Every structure is written in C-alpha cells, then in structure tokens.
Amino acid sequence: MSTATAKVEIDNAFCIVTRWTFPPGTSTGWHRHEKDYVVVPTIAGVLTLLHPDGTVSLNEIREGIPYARQIGVEHDVQNRSDAVVEFLEIEIKRH
C-alpha cells in the first residue's frame, strides 16, 4: 500500500493538528501514538485497522463526529475502500 498524506496544519505549544487524507489503497503504516489524541472526520468512510495481536477491525467514521484515544494505541490504518477518507488528528501535548 502507498502512504496516506499527512499535512501538519498546526504545531504549537499545546497540540499538533494533522490532516490525514487516505485515497483508496493507502495507509499510515504501523505506528504507536505517543500522545493522547482526538480524531475529527472531514470525509466520511470506512477505514481498516490492523492491530498488533493480528486482529483486523473496521472503523466507520462519519463527517464531524469526533472520537478520542489515549496514548499507546498501536495500529496500521488502511483505506481498503474505493473512496477517499479524511480526518483531522489532534494530538495533545503534555506539559
């Protein structure tokens, strides 16, 4: 799979906001979140999540419906659908 596009929109003292755009057939690659984060979908769709234990799950995101996760999440996020999916990832910096 190709790599999804990550564009940092804000990086300041308290947060990092990254716009992730997933054309069909793209992924983030394996990563571990080093910060708590909030995701705000901007283009709805279904993303496939690969987990370290080998399980796979689907994450149907809806435009404007946010969700939050805590530090330590590990996964590869893939777009196996036929449509572009996009979200803003807001990472919270700890002081």
DSSP-assigned letters across all residues of 27-62: E--SEE-SS-EEEEEEE-EEEEEE-TTS-EEEEEE-
Domain housing 68: 2-92
Give the pLDDT band (50/70/90) at residue 95.
low
Query: Per residue in 64-85, pLDDT tens?
Result: 999 999 999 999 999 999 999 9
State the virtual CA torsion across 1, 93, 17, 30 in degrees, nearest 10.
0
Q: Looking at residues 15-28, what average pLDDT do you find?
A: 98
* Confidence (pTM): 0.94
Measured in whole angstroms, the distance separating CA 48 from the mean position of its chain's CA atoms is 11
Can you give the pLDDT at residue 91? 98
Tokens of residue 10, six digits: 């804000």
Res 41: pLDDT: 98
Number of domains in the chain: 1
CATH of the domain at 81: 2.60.120.10
